[in-house]
Every structure is written in C-alpha cells, then in structure tokens.
Structure 1
Amino acid sequence: MTTTRRTPSTDRRSGNPAKRAAAKKPDPIKDLKLSPEVHAYMVDRGIPLPDCPPHTKTPEPRDVPGAAFDFERVDKVLAAFKALTHVSGRWAGQPLTPDPWQVAYILAPTFGWVRWDDEADAYVRIIRDLYVDVPRKNGKSTISSGIALYMACADGEQGAQVVTAATGKEQAKFVFSPIKTLAEKAPALKGRVKAYAEKVIHLRSASTIIPVSSVADAQHGANIHCSVVDELHVHKNPDLVETIETGRGSRTQPLSVIITTADSGKPGTIYDRKRRYVDSLAAGTIRDEHVYGVVWAANKDDDPFAVETQKKANPGYGISPSAAYLAAEAKKAKNDPSALAAYQRLHLGIRTKQAARFVNLDTWRANAGDDNAWLDTDALRNRRAYGGLDLASTSDLTALCWLLPRDDDGFDALWRMWVPEAALDDLNTRTAGEAMVWLGRGWLRTTPGNVTDYAYVRASMNEDADLLDVQTVAFDRWNASQLTIDLTDDGFEMVKLGQGFASMSAPLKEVKRLLLTGQASGVPMIRHGGNDVMTWMTDNLAVAYDAAGNVKPDKASAADKIDGWSALVNAMSEAMAGNAPKTSAYDDGGLRVV
C-alpha cells in the first residue's frame, strides 16, 4: 500500500498533439466519481487522484441537513493507519499508508462526513454502514484490519466493542489474525494494547476486538461499536450479520463494515440483499444517508482477458494484485473454460449467473415525461382506459394500472397501489423510508388492518370509472375473488387472464418495445409521470424465459415487489386487444376468459 499507482497526471501520453489539445478536458469529479468535498481534500492534502473509479458508488451524504465534511477527521484516520506497519512481504516494516483509491472511495467518505447530534452533544459520523465489494488481492484484509484497530484504539469511544465476523471459527480466526499481528508489531501501539489468541485489548479505553462466528458469540454482552464482516457471499443465512447490526443501538456513531468479493449471482442470499440495496441506492430508487457502498467490477461484455478490463475491476492493479498475477490467472481461465466463471467472479467482480436487467432504469426514466399536466382531472376526463389488476396476497401490495391510449400509438399510465396499514412499517424498512414518502405523495395508499381491504380498492376503481372511459380490466384468472365478482356487478368488464408465458409474453415485450422507442425518440411512449413506486419496482423486476424465448414477470426471482409491473402487463394485454371480440371456452357470468 505504500507505492502510489501512476495517475492520469503522471501518465505519458502518445498520439497526435493537435488531437490531444482538442480533446475534451477531463472532469475529475465526474469522471472519477469523486464528490467535490473528497476531491478538495485529496488536492489540499497532496494525495494523487486515483485512476480507478468504482463500477458502482452510492451517493455521499452531502445533502443531509447539517452535513459537513471534516478534513481533520480523515487526517486522524490516515495518521492512525500510518502508525501501523506492514508485517510481511516487500513492504514489511514500512508505514501502512493507504493507496489514493482507498482514501478517495473508502476512508474519506466514511470518516469525513459528519453532522451535529444533540443527544451526543457532538459531531458524529453520518455513515454507519460501509459496503466494499472488490476482487481478490486488492488489500481487503489490510484496510479492514486498519479500520478495526482505529475504531478500537483511536475513535475516542470508551469500552468500544469491535467484532470481526465470519461463518466458522477457523475463518473468524483468519480474519482476526491480521488485526492481532498488526497490533503486536506496530511500534505506536507498544504498551497501549494487549494481544491475545482471540482478543485485542486497548488498555486506556478498555476497548476490545474479538472474532465471532455464531449468533451466540455476537449476542454475548452485545454493545457493538464496530463490526467487520468478511466475504459476505459465504454466509449461508443472514442471522449472524443481522444480529451484529442490531447490537449497536447504544452507540452514537457505530460503524458496520462489509468487505467482500462478488458472489455468482444467486438470488435471495444475504449477499444478494446487501448488494441489491447498494445497487438501488446508487440507482437512486431508494435513499439512505447512513449507508455507503462501492463496487469494483468489469462489465459482462468486456473482454475478460484484456489488461484494461483487469484495471477496471482491480483498483490495486500493479501493486496488489500485481499485473503478473492477473495475467497468469487470465491465462489459466483462457486455457481452461471451466475456470472462466471463477476467474470472472474472483478477479473481475462479475456476478456470473446474475440475469440481465429486462428494462434498464435509464430507459424507464426516459419515459417519465417532463410535463405532468396530463395527470390533472380535467385532462383525464373521459379518456379511454384499459385496466390491469394484480391482486397479490391479502397482506401484501395490491396494484391497479390504467393504460390510456394516445393518438401517437403511445400510452399514459396511471397506477393505484394499496398496502395494509400493518404491513407499512415493513415496506418502509425495506425501502429505506421511501414508502412513507410514496404515501405522502399519493402513489401508495393504505387500508385498515393487517390484510388488504378490497372495499377500498372497489371504491377507488368506481371513482376512476366515473372519470375515465373504462373498457376492460384484466386480472389473474387463478386469483379471482369476491372483489372481481363485485366489480362485475358494478358494470366493469372483467377479463380473466392467464399469467403464464402464452398470455404474458406478448404484452411484456410490447411494453419493453414502447419504452425503448420512447427513449430513442425522446417522446415517452409509456408516460408514467416519474412514479417512484414503479421506478423501485422496475429496479426489482426479474423475468423468466421458456425454451421458445417467451417471457413473463418472475415474482419468485424478483429483488422485491413487482406488483405494479404485473398490473401494467395485464393492462397492456387488454390495450393490445382493444375492442376486438374475444373468444371464451365458457361463459363465466360476465367474466371473460383469455
């Protein structure tokens, strides 16, 4: 970590000087994904700017009311690191000086951002959860060890409990061992710490660092100031991580650190949940100022054996990992196709089995529309509308979508969504507080109790029918209920729609085609008005394919709720059919079946 990588300012350029002069001047803040505050700190302290921006980076909490970036706090952390020394290899005995990329993307954002806390009567860190996803050999152990020692010995917290967590005792010792060795070897800590087989004690503050490998270990006297979780992807269940994160409530500025390599893309795991949360924060579909994450990875379509791809995924390229090491690993993978997936995951950060996103968020947002005057009641009056209803489980989200055809072959889309009051807190937690925002803006509605009260859905649909010229409403034929019978009695033409590949593929593909057309033309073809609930659900969307290439929404594989998408596809099925007569295998008392 003591050797500085060559930065753009020190690289020698080749090519035509005239072309170089005419080239666009780089913007270090935008191109390198640096906040203005971190950029200013790096320049002021004479730290070279890194040349390895992460693939994914969540927003720094610069817009939090009262937020400030404290240069001296970052100085203190870097000074603590430099008081430690490398204990092995070619840098043994040299100060543990973090690389510029580690300062710019990990240490400075995490420790620099503070706000005033009235209860603590002091400035406290804003970021409480740090997530770092980076390929192997990029100094994960070194930086996590440095953070653990700082939090125990230099953060000013009396009786700080710092834990290092892993899935088994041997792995926990493996994570703890570098910390213990650093504590023993650092001249600055001599006489200040005691290092034992399974504990490091900072004498002055009575703070401790211990390894844990079970829920019982984590619960014992839990009053955690800092936790370091190693290789999240090997945790089979969330119990240990969640126990650690809930054991820090009495601390004023706790910090949970996850430093990991990528998994293969398996859905539903604790890794998948944490990674999806970070991805959603980076995409702006949810907001949580207490969580900060960075991910280094190549793209799936990058040449996996190219040096530039290796540099993109490995911020420590040329130091650790060395160029020779990565070249050797690439050669093995090239010669042995069975080793390619492991090489891509471990050394390029690619989640090899993760399904491609069906609808890109940029494509979705491009169809929001700039002028929402069409949402006014007068503008909606008597417009032709096709409905799609998704009656999820009674204790979960219910969604209704109205598609309103336009003369340009596009549609305007309106959603109504309901959640039982008893389920709101859980939804609010899963969306980092966004559900309450959606409720305040009218994008989400509640019904009393712990199950969806379909009387509210029925009343809302009848209100809409008084405003719109409703044609038909499609719903899952396997989820018929008293509500659909009541709506038929109210005069709605309700259409039972299968939710399999045969029924869903064509309308889902049509939705995607229209969204892509809208993005390319600049004219929204499914204008949705920037509905944030649907943006969140678009980020969650997963689809399934059959052997013939047909596609349907896949709730089982989705990151979270996609009920609004199911309603949209149901509505599109009706809109595509228009007023054409439909055939039915049997008459169902006013319900049409397709």
Structure 2
Amino acid sequence: MPGKRELARLKLSPEVAWYLLDRGYELPDCPPRWKTPEPREVAGAYFDPARVDRVIDAFGRLRHTQGKWAGRPITLRAWQVAHLIGPTYGWVRPTADGRTARIIQTQYLDIPRKNAKTTIGGGQCIYLTCADGEQGAQVFALATRKDQARLCFDPVRLLALHAPDLKGHVKPLKDKILHPRSGSSFSVMSSAGDAMHGTSPHAAFVDEVHLHKTRDLIEAVETGTGAREQPLIMYATTADAGSPFSPYAEIREYTEKLCRGVLVDPTFYGVVFAAEREDDPFDPATWLKANPGLAAGDSPTMESMEKAAAKARQNPVELASFLRLRLGVRTRQETKYISLEEWDRNAGMGVDPKTLKGRACFGGLDLAATSDLSALCLLFPEEEGGYQALWRLWTPEANMQRLRDRTAGAADVWVRDGWLTVTDGDVMDYGHIRAAVQADMDYFDLREIAYDPWNATQLVTDLLADGVPLAEMRQGYRSMSPPLKELARLVRQGSPKRPMVRHGGNPAMRWQVDNLAVATDPSDNVKPDKRHSADKIDGVVALIMALDRAVHGAPAEAPSAYEDRGLEVV
C-alpha cells in the first residue's frame, strides 16, 4: 500500500486502494480534477468488497456492441473501479432491520467524450435491473425527448441482446428490458408527467446532463425514489458551455462545493475529469490528465486527440469545442467578449436612483418580440470618468415560466427584488414601458434614447408624441462596433475601487452579460450576436446603444472615445 501522501495525490481512499491491489489491478495514475469525499465517516459505514465484485462480474457478462471491441466482454479498467464503481457500490451501512444498504444514492461522472461514460452507465443499469437484489426494480434512462432517451437506452438494449449470459434471464423489448424473475424493468422516460404517474424508481441514468434545460424530469424521478431502500441516480455528462443557470451548473457546482468541504453530503459521490484552465491544451500531458481512457490506452485514441487538436489550433470555434468536449473545460460561447470577472469588478456600491435625480443621462431601448424580454438602459456619465448604469427590464406574464426555466428559478428572485417587471397578459404591455419612460423623463435629465427602427412599434410613435428625444440606431456592424468595443475597454479598465460601468451587481444583467456572444466581420468589427448567444442579451444591447448616445452626446470640449480607435469597415 502506498503512503497517505501518495494516496492523496492519486485521490484514492485506503479501502479502494486495497481493493484494487487485492484484486490484481494497478493503481491508476490519472486522478480526477474533482472528487467528493467517500462516506468513510458515516456511522456504521464499512467497505464491502463482495458488493464491488458482483458489479464487476456483471459487467464481465456483457459484450461490447460497436467498433473493434464488438463481441468482447466488457472489462472494467482500474480507473473506472477506483473512481466510480468501487466507491459507489462498496460503501454500505446497516439498516434499521439489520440488513445493509449502499450509502451513496447519487453518482456523478463528468468526463470528456469517448471515455465510455455511456457504457459504464448502461452496464450499471443492467446490474441495477437484474442483480441488485431489488424486487420490482424500476430503472429509467432520462431525457427531455424520447429520441434523446433512446441514445442512452438503445446501447443498453444491444448489450442485453448480445450478452450470452443474459439470454433466458432478460427480455429486451423495443422500449423496455424486462427481468421476469424479479419483476424489474429498464425503460426510457422523457417527461415529468410520466414520472409522476405511478412510478417508483430504484435507479435512473441521466446521460448528457448539460442538454437538460430544466430540472422538472430529474426532480420528479428523484422524489419518486423515497420508497426504495438503496436507490441510485446516475449522472453522466461532458462539460457544458458555462451557463450559470442550468441543471448542469447546479449539480456541477454542488459537486465542487462538496469537494471543497463547503457542504457535506455522504449520499452524493461525484468525480470530474478535466484539465485546468491554465494547462496547455495542445500538450499531450494535458490530454492524459483529462482523459483516463486515453491514459489506459483505450478510448479516446491518441490519433483522434491529435486530429482534434490540429483543428483547434486553426480555428477559435474548434478550440472552444476542443476545450469543452476533449478536455472537460467549461467554456463559454465561441467568442467570449466580456468576462464575468471583469464585469463583477465594476459592480461598485450599488446604483441608487434617488442619488441620480435630475442628473443627465442617455438611454438605449431594445424592444424584443412582443412575448419576450424588452430592456431600457440609462447611462449617467460621471465627472471623473465612467458611468453609472440603471436598467428597466420587462417581460409579459406568459413568458415568465420560460424565463424561470431558463434561469433555474432565478427570474422569480429578480421580480421579487425589483430587477425585472412582469406585465399582464400574453404579450408585452408597451403602455407600461411608455409610462416608465415618461416617469424617467420627469425624474432624470434624459437627453436622448437610441432605438432600432427595424423593430420599431407604435410605442416609438407614442414616445415621439410625448416629446421623448429618440435617435435611430440600427444594430449592424457600423453602428454597434464602436460602442461595443468601448464598453469592453471600460469594463477591462474598471476596478472595485473605481468602476467604469457601475452596475450595482444587477443579477439579471450579470446573467445576460454571461450569455453574450459577438459576431465579427473580416475587418474586425463586432456586434452582439443574439442568434449564437447562450440566452437573452437584450439588456446588454440596450447598454451598448446607451453608450453610443452618451459618447456622441458628450460636450464639445470632451474628446470622443472613438477618436483613437475609429471604425473599421470593409
């Protein structure tokens, strides 16, 4: 047995390390980046090697169904036993009636592509259906759509069809695998409604968590396991693109908090295989670090990594994909123009409208579709340089559920705290926006508001009739590039002591800034790219338009922020 320091480096518990050596495995030298504590401190907990043996034996009775390995028995590698199967199935504790049950009830595997995560999940599903000692076990593959669910169910069905040792014991059907002796089944589930109707899951496998937009289905299954003594929910996924409000973000951040000791949950076990952000993405040592299958000589292959790396060297879009899918690094969209770290540095001590009464300001109005999000941003120039930013955000009541789903419930908090206003009905109440602009005209010295004539509505006509100073501003490269570049410059220049775009930590705007993607033309002009942004960015667009008016509306003696940079146009 290695010493404590070496075990810590390998991220192995003494119990799992002993098991590996005793069963003839070499200790894997490919530790995950994150690994939650094993439940060694739970009262009565002990490691049962026989339970791990049964799972490994079950895998050995299955056969690969694709590629060069087709027809061969599935042999678990040392890293799979060390960092997933051993901890999950080995740790048990006594139950009230004198039996033993697994401690871990949630398993999370976050790993780059081609490291056999679906095979590992599928093999566990067969075991949990047929060999876990659970009568009437209901095991499910979860996805938001039936065709997505089949992506993880169909390979398992093939495993059951082609495993000689399972013939006569299981009955694979089109949408279900039956185990008649125990009355158990493995099937697909693609809606929360299905989960609510009479199901009592013993286990569930959620492949590609980052594809789930809401937690409805997952929560329905999780809450349905209450009648089971040792349920197991298995998550398997590659890294997402970094969205802060998603089921993936929630479970990933929960895993990292458990790893850091911020939270304690002995029933949850998770590992994340990934490179560090500062690692050289083109160094083979980084590839081995993030891909335990590559380190074991299986899949992915070194050749496939070299091909993917060669593409990533030539194309920023391919690089983002390479980092996320091949190295497990959470990336943002293809072009990350303003980082959250830079944005957060500019929060300041808050933006109080009372202190801004009568102050000169410039606005940007982004009127989205009638059933979506609209935004007005007011920018107040500061004498010492920079701006204070104040937003009005509106959405119709009918859109709230969609917005709630996309923000993992944060939208309700924004409404409660006054960052977002909900208007009555199915479509945007432009009368509400008109009244708000009129109130701001009376309260502030509102010099000018930019708007996009392409999306102009009767509201624009009404505002002009009210005497609101409006200025057309189309959202193309020519008009948007200079203020967007200026915004990025100000945000980078800002600091906690001297914020240049003081926004007061507005959480709805933080979400939108994190969503922002930009498009670039051959002359390096940029503009916000709503189509490729992660989600809504209307408030950011309004900010850019307001900044353009603030720059062009500055006193004559003040130099324009564009003088040094100009505009590049083909």
Of 137, 141, 163, the match for 2:119? 141
**Equivalent AA in structure 2 for residue 356 of structure 1:** T
Quote how far apart the aligned CAs of 1:278 are: 2.5
Kindly indicate whether residue 5 of structure 2 is the aligned counterpart of residue 9 of structure 1: yes
**Which residue is 2:452 aligned to?**
476
Q: Find the aligned partners of 1:516 and 1:176 in 2 and give their Cα distance.
A: 53
Matches within 5 A, 1:100-139: 100-102=82-84, 132-138=110-116
Deviation, structure 1 residue 364: 1.5
Query: 1:565 aligns to what?
Result: 540
Tell whether 2:167 aligns with 1:150. Answer: no
User: Aligned match of 1:318 in 289, 295, 315?
Assistant: 295
Tell me the SS of whatever aligns to 2:498.
coil
Matched, 1:83 2:54: yes
Query: Larger deviation: 90-99 or 350-359?
Result: 90-99
How far the C-alpha of 1:82 sits from its partner, in A, is: 3.6
Q: Which residue of 2 aligns with 1:209?
A: 186
1:525 to 478, 500, 503: 500
Q: 1:251 aligns with which of 191, 212, 224?
A: 224
Post-superposition CA distance 1:146-178 (Å, at most 9, x none): 255337754968451434887698985433344
**8 Å contact 1:153–1:207 — kept in the other structure?**
no
- Structure 2 residue identity aligned to 1:136: K
**Deviations along 1:467-490, whole A, 9 cap, x unmatched?**
222111111121222222222233
Alignment of 1:228-377 (within 5 A): 228=205, 248=221, 251-252=224-225, 257=234, 259-260=236-237, 278-279=248-249, 296-298=273-275, 303-316=280-293, 318-319=295-296, 321=298, 326-330=301-305, 344=322, 347-348=326-327, 355-369=334-348, 371-372=349-350, 375-377=351-353
Kindly provide the amino acid, as one letter, of the partner of residue 391 in structure 2. W
What is the SS of the residue equivalent to 1:537? helix
Local SS of the residue matching 1:394: coil
Structure 2 Cα separation of the partners of residues 141 and 339 of structure 1: 32
Report the AA paired with residue 411 of structure 1. Answer: Y
Matches of 1:280 and 1:499, distance apart in 2:
34
Aligned partner of residue 83 in structure 1, secondary structure: helix
The answer (yes or no) to whether the contact 1:83–1:95 under 8 Å persists in 2 is no
Cα offsets for 1:287-319 (capped at 9, x unmatched): 9x9999976455799645523211332145533
Q: 2:402 aligns with which of 410, 423, 426?
A: 426
Paired letter, 1:209: F
- Matched residue type, 2:343: W
Query: How far did 1:321 drift?
Result: 3.9
Question: In structure 2, what residue type is equivalent to 1:571?
Answer: A
Amino acid at match of 1:310: W
Alignment-mate amino acid for residue 388 of structure 1: G
Shift of 1:385: 1.1
Aligned partners of 2:298 and 2:499: how far apart in 1? 46
Structure 2 match to 1:19: none
Q: For residue 222 of structure 1, report the CA deviation from its aligned partner.
A: 8.7
Alignment match, 1:16: none
SS at match of 1:386: strand
CA RMSD in angstroms comes to: 5.5
Q: Choose the corresponding residue for 2:490, options 504, 514, 523.
A: 514
Structure 1 stretches of 5 or more lacking a match? 12-27, 33-38, 63-67, 113-122, 266-271, 582-594
Indicate the residue corresponding to 2:435 in structure 1: 459
Show structure 2 runs of 5+ residues with no match.
19-26, 64-68, 93-101, 258-262, 557-570
Aligned partner of 1:135: which letter?
A: R
Preserved CA contact (<8 Å) 1:390 1:400: yes
1:142 deviates by 2.2
- 2:524 matched to which residue of 1? 549
Match of residue 66 from structure 2: none
CA distance in 2, matches of 1:443, 1:459: 17
- Contact kept, 8 Å, 1:386 with 1:402, in 2: the verdict is yes
Identity %: 32
SS at match of 1:491: coil
With the length of structure 2 as denominator, give the TM-score of the two structures: 0.69
Distance (whole Å) between structure 2 residues aligned to residue 428 and residue 335 of structure 1: 40
Equivalent residue in structure 2 for 1:402, among 378, 381, 384: 378
Task: Report the 3-state secondary structure (helix = DSSP H, G, I; strand = E; otherwise coil) of the residue aligned with 2:435.
Answer: helix
Q: Deviations over 1:6-39 (max 9, x none)?
A: 999329xxxxxxxxxxxxxxxx8xx99xxxxxx9
Deviations 1:545-566 (A, max 9, x none): 1111111111111221111111
Q: How far apart, in 1, do the equivalents of 2:367 and 2:74 lie?
A: 63
| Secondary structure of residue in 1 paired with 2:5 | coil
**Do the aligned residues in 2 keep the contact of 1:543 with 1:551 (CA within 8 Å)?**
yes
Q: Distance in 1 between matches of 2:532 and 2:335?
A: 12
| Change in CA separation of 1:242 and 1:579 when aligned onto 2, cut-off 3 Å | closer
**Contact 2:487 2:547 survives alignment (8 Å):** yes
Does the Cα contact within 8 Å between 2:364 and 2:449 map onto a contact in 1?
A: yes
Q: 2:461 is matched by which residue type in structure 1? A: I
User: In structure 1, what residue type is equivalent to 2:84?
Assistant: Q
Deviation at 1:512, TM superposition (A): 0.8
**What are the Cα deviations for residues 479-527 of structure 1, in whole angstroms up to 9, with x where unaligned?**
22222222223332111111101000111111111111115x7532111
Instruction: Please name the residue that 2:24 is paired with.
Output: none
Cα 1:505/1:326, change in 2 over 3 Å? same
| Structure 1 residue 378, shift from structure 2 partner | 3.4
- 1:416 and 1:170 mapped to 2: Cα distance? 43
C-alpha spacing 1:447/1:311, structure 2 compared with 1 (3 Å): same
1:488 is the counterpart of 2:464: yes
Which residue pairs with 1:382 in the alignment? 358
CA–CA distance in 1 between the matches of 2:44 and 2:516? 41
Q: Equivalents in 2 of 1:155, 1:482: separation in Å?
A: 67
Aligned AA (1:480): A
> CA separation in 1, counterparts of 2:304 and 2:4?
27
Number of equivalenced pairs: 500
The letter of the residue matching 1:175 is V
Alpha-carbon distance in structure 2 between the residues aligned to 1:503 and 1:329: 43
Distance in 2 (alpha carbons) for counterparts of 1:69 and 1:52: 19
Sort the Cα spacing of 1:313 and 1:433 in 2 relative to 1 into closer, same or farther, 3 A: same
Contact 1:7–1:51 (Cα < 8 Å) also in 2: no
**Structure 1 residues 166 and 223: alpha-carbon distance in aligned structure 2, compared to 1, 3 A threshold:** same
Q: Secondary structure at the match of 2:224?
A: coil
SS in 2 for 1:194: coil
2:561 equivalent in structure 1? none
Distance 1:338 1:564, change over 3 A: closer
Q: Secondary structure at the match of 1:443?
A: coil
Residue identity opposite 1:149 in structure 2: Y
